[in-house]
A and B are shown apart, each in its own frame.
Chain A
């Protein structure tokens, strides 16, 4: 993978190494235990926050450490050395919850919450999906109604919310008018607001160590200060937010593939069958060659998209392409890795087993594979 690594700056490499060292020392030794337990300790947020890992991609004046899309990828690459997507996405839930606050939030609100989330003292989560609206985001029905004193009353339900069980701050997409796209508005809802109910962790196929919740809003009242931007700006904020969310998902995708590839390669070099190492079988060597090729292609595309984002270019469809390519790669390469491991690859102690389960969400979360193809084909002028 050196053709990309050579182009990184020293600071980017050190950032990646810091995240990697953090993952190897603070996550990897506990990854199996945390995955089985279905959560990781809250203190991990503070540990990551104390060295600035949560502040990557956020402006310094709000407590961040700066950096752009490429730096976010570097932190993901490092953190994934903990071999669990669950912990990585759990630690990173603010990466999708805070940007609307940073960009559209009122000053008092930003000062109140951004810094403490980046320090790891509080957890932030993004709440978009509803029981009746996933891919069809404009179909959401959670409603925020303005009251006479300027505050808002929120009613509705959200589901599949990453870090939702433990989140202190929820960035919630609501409907403030019936205008399909122009009637959406984001609010920040604090977890102790009356009328907010938070479910037990939902049981998932993968991402076990990250908690996922269902949320109920029953006459939850929030002050005007918690509204992000003017009424009706939610769709725009959402589209902007999707860009970095999908880039991060692409990051999880190619790193998942890279880890599976590495483990499969070690297995092929060490394990013997029919009196010779597995690498003595051309069919397996070629399988690994294909896995390596796909993984590199996925990483290269994601890097180029990240660079374009950092240059300030609009690349909505390229992000969609990167998301799809990396997700497909992660699913295919982890499948192959399990196949190479054989029976052991189907056992819960084996990391490739976990990776193969974790990979399955990637073509679904943050916009499904099908929605990504809609975006791409529309850009091609086919719709």
Chain B
């Protein structure tokens, strides 16, 4: 079984980000980068699939040359080889999906498992768009994944509970937080990852025009929320919800 997974290089979500002076992005001076947290679940699931079914895990990133670090991290976790589609442009989700679609047409994996969204832009679109461009079935927000006989059974987190979906492979599955517990990139794994193959190409090589369809007008910090309050008991809570929040 050939499994393809993706990683995005994002700013460290534990650091406080600041919007730059002209509101065109965030301040990147002194910012550290790491693998998108949701992608850790995708990479882990890809490795688990390989462990259970055999085969190969290919990890793909679309981003700057420095994203080789995130690809090597995925290989240190257990992915077999990596592809970097190198670009310094800020791609919108649609461009990312079209780039990935071209890689996938070449690689012909049996399944794509990727993070449901990136923790920097939180757009939650690339997986869905990718499935549409490939004309493949999709199962998003997975908390469980079973593969057998050419079908994937995916437990999904949906509004108000969970649902189960069966999709015929090849398909795109996007990972939610309860799917697994991502392993660490072990130290011996880091040493091995140095010797695993990493191919680099560009969107041009793939024939994809990455000019953005979405124009970002400006970045704004969300309004600050007032501090929460701990109430004495249930009656006090109901009173506050009724009289102050007016939601009851």
- Asked if chains A and B come from one complex, the reply is yes
Interface membership of A13, Cβ < 8 A: yes
Q: Please name all residues of chain A whose beta carbon is closer than 8 Å to the beta carbon of B29 when the two chains form the complex.
A: 2
* Complexed CA–CA distance, A317 and B168 (Å): 67
Interface membership of B68, Cβ < 8 A: yes
Q: Please name all residues of chain B whose beta carbon is closer than 8 Å to the beta carbon of A15 when the two chains form the complex.
A: 187, 190
* Complexed CA–CA distance, A15 and B185 (Å): 8
Interface membership of B188, Cβ < 8 A: yes
For residues 80 through 117 of chain A, which have their beta carbon under 8 Å from a beta carbon of chain B? none
Establish whether residues B186 and A14, one from each chain, have CB atoms under 8 Å apart when the complex forms.
no
Establish whether residues A10 and B72, one from each chain, have CB atoms under 8 Å apart when the complex forms.
yes
Establish whether residues B191 and A18, one from each chain, have CB atoms under 8 Å apart when the complex forms.
no
Q: Please name all residues of chain B whose beta carbon is closer than 8 Å to the beta carbon of A10 when the two chains form the complex.
A: 68-69, 72, 194
Contact (A11, B184) CB under 8 Å given A2-B30, A17-B34, A24-B14: no
Establish whether residues A14 and B73, one from each chain, have CB atoms under 8 Å apart when the complex forms.
yes
Establish whether residues A66 and B191, one from each chain, have CB atoms under 8 Å apart when the complex forms.
yes
Interface membership of A251, Cβ < 8 A: no
Establish whether residues A14 and B184, one from each chain, have CB atoms under 8 Å apart when the complex forms.
no
Interchain nearest-CB distance for A116 vs B (Å): 17
Establish whether residues A56 and B187, one from each chain, have CB atoms under 8 Å apart when the complex forms.
yes
Establish whether residues B188 and A18, one from each chain, have CB atoms under 8 Å apart when the complex forms.
no
Q: Please name all residues of chain B whose beta carbon is closer than 8 Å to the beta carbon of A55 when the two chains form the complex.
A: 187
- A14, A18, A55 — most chain B CB neighbours (10 Å): A14
* Complexed CA–CA distance, A269 and B17 (Å): 12
* Complexed CA–CA distance, A1 and B189 (Å): 27
Interface membership of A52, Cβ < 8 A: yes
Interface membership of B16, Cβ < 8 A: yes
Contact (A14, B185) CB under 8 Å given A65-B191, A66-B191: yes
* Complexed CA–CA distance, A104 and B73 (Å): 35
Interface membership of A266, Cβ < 8 A: yes
In chain B, what residue has the closest Cβ to A75? Answer: B187
Establish whether residues B73 and A17, one from each chain, have CB atoms under 8 Å apart when the complex forms.
yes
* Complexed CA–CA distance, A1 and B183 (Å): 28
In chain B, what residue has the closest Cβ to A2? Answer: B30
Hey, what's the 0/1 contact readout for A47-65 against B, CB within 8 Å counting as 1?
A: 0001111011000000001
Q: Please name all residues of chain B whose beta carbon is closer than 8 Å to the beta carbon of A52 when the two chains form the complex.
A: 186-189
Choose one: A17, A24, A51, A269; the contact of B186 (CB below 8 Å). Answer: A51
Interface SS of chain A: helix, strand, loop or mixed? helix
Interchain nearest-CB distance for B82 vs A (Å): 12
Interface membership of A207, Cβ < 8 A: no
Choose one: B32, B190, B194; the contact of A18 (CB below 8 Å). Answer: B190
Interchain nearest-CB distance for A155 vs B (Å): 40
Q: Please name all residues of chain A whose beta carbon is closer than 8 Å to the beta carbon of B34 when the two chains form the complex.
A: 17
Q: Please name all residues of chain A whose beta carbon is closer than 8 Å to the beta carbon of B193 when the two chains form the complex.
A: 11, 14
Interchain nearest-CB distance for B225 vs A (Å): 14
Hey, what's the 0/1 contact readout for B169-210 against A, CB within 8 Å counting as 1?
A: 000000000000001111111110110000000000000000
Interface membership of A22, Cβ < 8 A: yes
Interface membership of B76, Cβ < 8 A: yes
Establish whether residues B191 and A17, one from each chain, have CB atoms under 8 Å apart when the complex forms.
no
Interchain nearest-CB distance for A227 vs B (Å): 31
Interchain nearest-CB distance for A277 vs B (Å): 13
* Complexed CA–CA distance, A51 and B76 (Å): 11
* Complexed CA–CA distance, A159 and B93 (Å): 61
* Complexed CA–CA distance, A65 and B189 (Å): 10
A residues adjacent to B (C-beta < 8 A): 1-2, 5, 10-11, 13-15, 17-18, 21-22, 24, 50-53, 55-56, 65-67, 266, 269
| For the complex of A and B, 4 pairs with smallest distance between CB atoms | A52-B187, A65-B187, A51-B184, A51-B186
Sample 28 A-B pairs with CB under 8 A, ordered by A number.
A1-B30, A10-B68, A10-B194, A11-B193, A11-B194, A13-B69, A14-B73, A15-B190, A17-B34, A18-B76, A18-B184, A18-B185, A18-B187, A21-B184, A22-B184, A24-B14, A50-B186, A51-B183, A51-B184, A51-B185, A52-B186, A52-B187, A52-B188, A55-B187, A65-B188, A65-B191, A66-B191, A269-B16
